[in-house]
Structure 1
Amino acid sequence: MKQFLMLGAFMAGTLGLTVAQTIQSPARTQQYGISSNADTTIQLAANLNSPASGNEISGLFDKQNAAGPSAPRLNPRAVAFVDDYMEKYSKSLQDMKGWALPYFNMIDAVMIEYGLPRELKYLAVIESKMKAGATSWAGAVGPWQLMRETAIKLGLKVNKKVDERRNYVKSTHAAARYLKDLYAIYGDWLLVIASYNAGPGTVQRAISKSGSKNFWDLQYYLPSETRNHVKKFIGTHYIFEGGGGLTTLTKSETVAHYGQQLYAFNRKMTAEETSDARSQQVAGKYQSHIVARHVGMEMEDFNRYNPDFDKVMAASANGYELKLPAGKMDTFNANKYQILQESVQFLLSGSAASTL
């Protein structure tokens, strides 16, 4: 599979964005119960939805039946490709759902940490079939199929003795940083997936030639491999999730379906939200996704109120100034001991993880 091009020069010369040069510390990998010297992981809390297969597939594209009345619609220009893809690969991907679940759950946790949609894990499915040993004809390596230069730019060690592209955890952190940087350029997940495959320069040229930033309008200015790569991602999402979502839509489709409530890391609290919010200093091993679940908040909103919560809580002895809507803070205080207990149990479960 054709590997994406280097992001560094494009971002430095065109956008002035920076790519993190440091990788997560051993303490961070231990948070997930993962040895820094081995590709090991744990089964975290998130569960995948039932996949679509067989006769269910055609129903996903029907305007009346697509995964519920409020589900995002598949763009008509993708239906034929995605329908065929799902017919061919539903069985093998359902099998993957079993053996790869621990890896999926680890990726979920990392994506949450970076404020990214968890469904981006399906990019690793189409890149490498979730195989650490995968190597492309172009030299891309690992579950995220990183080229050597790109991996080094993202802070991974790649030399004769070690190749951290094959390390599930470290390469996932690197991929998350790269995906977040790409989203800062495009604000559109389909263009991010295209750029991950072909490089931001290729996507930018397609935008210039087509005069559009809509993937469905510019797709034929991209290499066929790249436009099919995006559709494979959409098809994989439909198989695992039983429908579409944030990462299967263009920016305009996202606004039409969800309104202006886009992505947490790209939005700030409104004046009304700031006025209503309450703050409270918290310390201990609280985990963001467990807090959010107990108080009834989507992770996107929790991260918007509390950016870098898990990072700060893991690194600081002074805790974190938790911000929540007034009613949510009352719920937190009423359940904080249970939330803390579940958070600690979540972390302790990692120490018992077995090597995969």
Structure 2
Amino acid sequence: MKRIIQILLILLLALPKVKAGNIDFYQQQDPALNDTTTEDKKKEDELIDEVIKTKAAPTKEKVEYFSQVTKYGFKNLFSKYSYNPTLSYSSQVNPSANLFIQDYMKAHGTYLTKMKGWGQPYFNLIENILVQYGLPRELKYIAVIESNLSTGATSYKGAGGPWQFMPYTARDYGLVVNGYYDERRDYFKSTHAASRYLLTLYRQLHDWLLVMAAYNGGPGRVYSAIKKSGSRNFWELQYYLPEESRTYVKRFIATHFIMEGGGGVTTSVNPNSGNGLVDINGGANPFDNKPQLTAEELETTSTQTISGKYNSLIIAKNLAMDIIQFNRFNPEFDNMMVNNGNYDLRLPQDKMQLFLTNKYSILNECVQVLLGDADIQNNQTFYPEVKKEKAPAPKKKKG
């Protein structure tokens, strides 16, 4: 009998342990992922802490490391950890997402399909920043769910900007938010802050679907769902999350499908083009696109062939033009610059004159944003405090 008890004790001691508080389910769930997700966890945590502390994008070597680590965060969504645009979407995505995707397409497909066109400059800018932190490009769709890419978006709780930061969170990640300035509305600075925040959440959860649930409802609710369900798989713990948070995750999946898997910019090919070009407008060759302008507009515009790493958002900002107006004069500008290297820029004559006067400084700013110049990232803007003048003391009435 004593021998049997000894054997049972040995077997119990040999079972994998579950850590209290920070529950570690990696060994129980997927032994095949042990080497890739937990081997360098300490190193990963230290590097992420460094990024958060310095409030700057990591060096090239660290970016490459993050890129390898964070791709496994989609292990519960895509069968090969990341989306492959050359394969059918349904063969890669978790089957649990299919029904929700179809319903979401019926309700929001038309609007999101239009956003593929006018939102491309924003997506390009966000992607350029995400890759500087070694983050998956798919995360750009969080800004779609949060704000429809609007810098002016404000929630009833006080969250603001394209990434919908609360003021205290924004300040924690290096943004200035006070009565005079609100950098949550700055696309460039807020996306850098969002990248650092997403890395922080990934350090805690190591799964992008759980990170999105935490982005919506806070990490505490996600940890509670993990504890109650005994799993770190979103599809197994989703009903232990608040309904808003689990729906938020599914909205991300459906948005990604509509943008990329349902005839989006990375998957559709125009069979009539004869050159295998990626179809950016759901069937039209982008090199054939011409601006739809009135005769009066055509008479008052100027055209100039340009080449270089220009970005439409930066040009529009420097010319004080609305990005929608710029895109109407210059359809598919960003895609043409990437694929062809040059573009026949068309602008109203006064805007063209302004562009030609400042073209080199504009190009320099575009290149810095594209490359994530260290000076730009490290130079946090400090604004002087505005001292309020004291109101003059009321004059005493004479006797």
TM-score grouping bracket, smaller chain normalisation: 0.5 to 0.7
Q: How many angstroms apart in 1 are the aligned matches of 2:310 and 2:113?
A: 28
Shift of 1:120: 0.6
Q: What is the aligned partner in structure 2 of residue 81 from structure 1?
A: 100
CA displacement 1:249-284 (0-9 Å, x = unmatched): xxxxxxxxxxxxxxxxxxxxxxxxxxxxxxxxxxxx
| Aligned mate of 2:248, from 226, 229, 234 | 229
Return the letter of the residue paired with 1:90: G
* Structure 2 CA distance for partners of 1:351 and 1:199, relative to 1, 3 Å: closer
Tell whether 2:52 aligns with 1:20: yes
Q: How many angstroms apart in 2 are the aligned matches of 1:96 and 1:69?
A: 23
Q: How many angstroms apart in 1 are the aligned matches of 2:311 and 2:122?
A: 18
The alignment partner of 1:346 has SS state of coil
Tell whether 2:165 aligns with 1:146: yes
Shift of 1:185: 1.7
Q: How many angstroms apart in 2 are the aligned matches of 1:235 and 1:104?
A: 17
Q: How many angstroms apart in 1 are the aligned matches of 2:162 and 2:311?
A: 26
| Aligned mate of 2:309, from 341, 346, 351 | 346
**Normalised by the size of structure 1, how large is the TM-score?**
0.52
Gaps of 5+ in 1: 1-14, 26-65, 245-343
Return the letter of the residue paired with 2:52: A
| Aligned mate of 1:199, from 214, 218, 227 | 218
Gaps of 5+ in 2: 1-44, 58-83, 264-306, 323-399
Tell whether 2:209 aligns with 1:177: no
Of the structure 1 ranges 83-92 and 15-24, higher mean CA displacement relative to structure 2 is found in 15-24
* Structure 2 CA distance for partners of 1:163 and 1:228, relative to 1, 3 Å: same
* Structure 2 CA distance for partners of 1:78 and 1:99, relative to 1, 3 Å: same
Structure 1 or 2, whichever has the larger Rg, is: 2
Q: What is the aligned partner in structure 2 of residue 238 from structure 1?
A: 257
Contact 1:144 1:171 (8 Å CA) reproduced: yes
**Normalised by the size of structure 2, how large is the TM-score?**
0.47
Q: What is the aligned partner in structure 2 of residue 100 from structure 1?
A: 119
Return the letter of the residue paired with 1:346: K
Contact 1:206 1:222 (8 Å CA) reproduced: yes
CA displacement 1:287-329 (0-9 Å, x = unmatched): xxxxxxxxxxxxxxxxxxxxxxxxxxxxxxxxxxxxxxxxxxx
CA displacement 1:148-187 (0-9 Å, x = unmatched): 1110100100000001111111110000111112112222
Return the letter of the residue paired with 1:20: I
Q: What is the aligned partner in structure 1 of residue 180 from structure 2?
A: 161
* Structure 2 CA distance for partners of 1:211 and 1:349, relative to 1, 3 Å: closer
Tell whether 2:141 aligns with 1:109: no
Shift of 1:243: 6.1
Shift of 1:196: 0.7
Tell whether 2:156 aligns with 1:124: no
Q: How many angstroms apart in 2 are the aligned matches of 1:86 and 1:217?
A: 24
Shift of 1:348: 8.9
* Structure 2 CA distance for partners of 1:24 and 1:133, relative to 1, 3 Å: farther
* Structure 1 residues 196-345: aligned runs within 5 Å: 196-242=215-261, 345=308
Q: How many angstroms apart in 1 are the aligned matches of 2:109 and 2:100?
A: 14
User: Which one scores higher on RCO, CA 8 angstroms, separation ≥ 6?
Assistant: 1
Q: What is the aligned partner in structure 1 of residue 282 from structure 2?
A: none
Q: What is the aligned partner in structure 1 of residue 372 from structure 2?
A: none
Return the letter of the residue paired with 2:113: Q
Q: How many angstroms apart in 2 are the aligned matches of 1:349 and 1:136?
A: 28
Return the letter of the residue paired with 2:151: A
* Structure 2 CA distance for partners of 1:89 and 1:152, relative to 1, 3 Å: same
Q: How many angstroms apart in 1 are the aligned matches of 2:150 and 2:168?
A: 20
Contact 2:167 2:177 (8 Å CA) reproduced: yes
Shift of 1:22: 5.8
Q: What is the aligned partner in structure 2 of residue 333 from structure 1?
A: none
Q: How many angstroms apart in 2 are the aligned matches of 1:163 and 1:350?
A: 19
Alignment RMSD: 2.8
The alignment partner of 1:20 has SS state of helix
Percent identity between matched residues is 54
* Structure 2 CA distance for partners of 1:139 and 1:22, relative to 1, 3 Å: farther
* Structure 2 CA distance for partners of 1:187 and 1:92, relative to 1, 3 Å: same
CA displacement 1:7-56 (0-9 Å, x = unmatched): xxxxxxxx89747256569xxxxxxxxxxxxxxxxxxxxxxxxxxxxxxx
